[in-house]
Amino acid sequence: MEIVIDTTRLVEFSQLPIDQMLWVFFINVGWIFLASGFLYGTLLIYKMRISSQWAAKNLKYIILAVDVPKGNEQSPKAVENMFTYLGGAHGSINFFEKWFEGKFQPSFSYEIVSLEGYTQFLIRTPVEYRNLIETSIYSQYPDAEISEVDDYVDTVPHTFPDEEYDIWGSEFIQSKDWSYPIKMYREFEHTMGPSETQFKDPMASLMDLCGSLREGEQFWFQLIVIPTGFDWIAQTDKAVEKILGKKKSSTGFFSKALEWLGVLSEMIFSIWGDIEDKKSDDKGMSMVELSPKQHKQVEAIQAKSSKLAFEAKIRVIYVARREVMNRSKVTSGFVGYIKQFASLDLNNLKPDTTSTMTKTAYFNKDKRLIRKKNAIMTNYINRDDYSGRAPGIYDIEELATLWHFPLEANVKSPLVQKAPGRKADAPSSLPMVDDFIGGTSPELFNLEVLRRERQQPEKNDEAEQRNSHNDSKASAPENLPFA
């Protein structure tokens, strides 16, 4: 029995002019791709619309300023425990809630802000999770002080170009697959010197950079954290299998169909005797056969997959008056801070020069630069976890490495706000402020006013210390010979 394949239409199609060939292809097949793209875009717009409506109706955010006690000796392990407790904010969202109500997982923003050298640690959280955030802090820092403050972003323009201010900003992304971790804080420990200085806090360089800002300069660092489930662990397993050289298992319909066709063809040819029966070895290498680099990678990936993790993204902005702006100092300083966490055989962080950094080249540079400046400012103000680059996966140790309260034995930054120490509880008979001012919350402060009020005493304390230090110097002996 002969099988005849008619190729007449295919030959006729190949002989058509190029414009007619494209039109025939679009009429028969191409419209499917166009319709799929249009449908996908429509779904995204619809999802964004109902999500914004749900957020406006159900979410209200506050900003909490956190002051840790003076003489802090808690390592970043305490902040790691804070992020572990934050995992309680994760909630399951079903299909109806996601696509009909617009419900989504709220995010949290852990921030470090320097306003003209005054440095403050802040956390932006939905109001309903305020107790969760405060409990996570007090459980690790019982003497910390937490106060609600106004949003500091309102002290500078929100749109550019501006006659008085200019801006630089960027998101920072993982240079490799997020399955590979960055350098952790525990790798900054060594066994030499006194016990209190054995941890060389990488936060020291960032605090020094924040403290060096002059009047008219502001630096904003934002770590957006999104609680997530455990589906990401499957990706780390695939990364390990890739290193070990194991054959990937196919799960799609077409992949399964091709696999069965391959098995069927091997059976037919083996019956005819045209090919040898060979079995593919998909076991891959064992741990003993791995190189030292591969061995380290497998262990690091598996260690990351054993810990709680979050979706997260890093966003940075430097905004200053044009006459005092020193872009190279801040950008180089922060990139240097980020490079401390580079593990070249695992992962590292880098600025997103292609999409979000306020830098352009080649065509239409000025308009594209203005658009990038306005985009990153808007995304920062909104603490947008969707716009810009997609979030990566960071485990709690990575997050604590990037954002933690500095150890005072390693970091000498006089303008980092600290709590003065434990205070006695107020007597129960003390009248509340609400009784006198009609319900106005005494906890709400303006961060700019807070900065000016607290910065001056710090400077006075430094002056007093310098004077006392100079007074305590011993006078020279009378019989000292002079040149």
Identity of the amino acid at 399 = L
Q: Is residue 314 part of a domain?
A: yes
Looking at per-residue pLDDT, the higher value among 208 and 273 belongs to: 208
Domain assignment of residue 352, given as a range: 60-234+297-460
117-143 per-position pLDDT tens digit: 899 999 999 999 999 999 999 999 998
> Is the distance from CB of 158 to CB of 373 less than 8 angstroms?
no
Look at 168-172, 271-275, 364-368, 380-384 and tell me which has the smallest mean pLDDT. Answer: 271-275
pLDDT at position 478 is 52
pLDDT at position 381 is 95
pLDDT at position 394 is 95
Look at 38-47, 125-134, 457-466 and tell me which has the smallest mean pLDDT. Answer: 457-466
Does 300 score more than 80 pLDDT?
A: yes
Does 438 score more than 50 pLDDT?
A: no
Q: Is residue 48 part of a domain?
A: no
310-327 per-position pLDDT tens digit: 999 999 999 999 999 999
pTM for the whole thing?
Answer: 0.77
Q: Is residue 442 part of a domain?
A: yes
Distance, in Å, from the CA atom of 64 to the CA atom of 125, rounded to the nearest integer, reads 8
Q: Is residue 184 part of a domain?
A: yes
Q: Is residue 265 part of a domain?
A: no
Mean pLDDT across the stretch 390-400?
94
Confidence category of residue 386, pLDDT binned at 50, 70, 90: confident
Q: Is residue 307 part of a domain?
A: yes
For residue 34, how far is the Cα from the chain centroid? 35
Structurally, the chain folds into a number of domains equal to: 1
Peptide bond connecting 161 to the previous residue in cis, omega within 30 degrees of 0? yes
Q: Is residue 283 part of a domain?
A: no
259-269 per-position pLDDT tens digit: 666 655 555 55
pLDDT at position 436 is 39
Number of Cβ within 10 Å of residue 270's Cβ equals 13
86-111 per-position pLDDT tens digit: 999 998 888 899 989 999 999 999 99
Does 472 score more than 50 pLDDT?
A: no
Q: Is residue 53 part of a domain?
A: no
Does 242 score more than 70 pLDDT?
A: yes
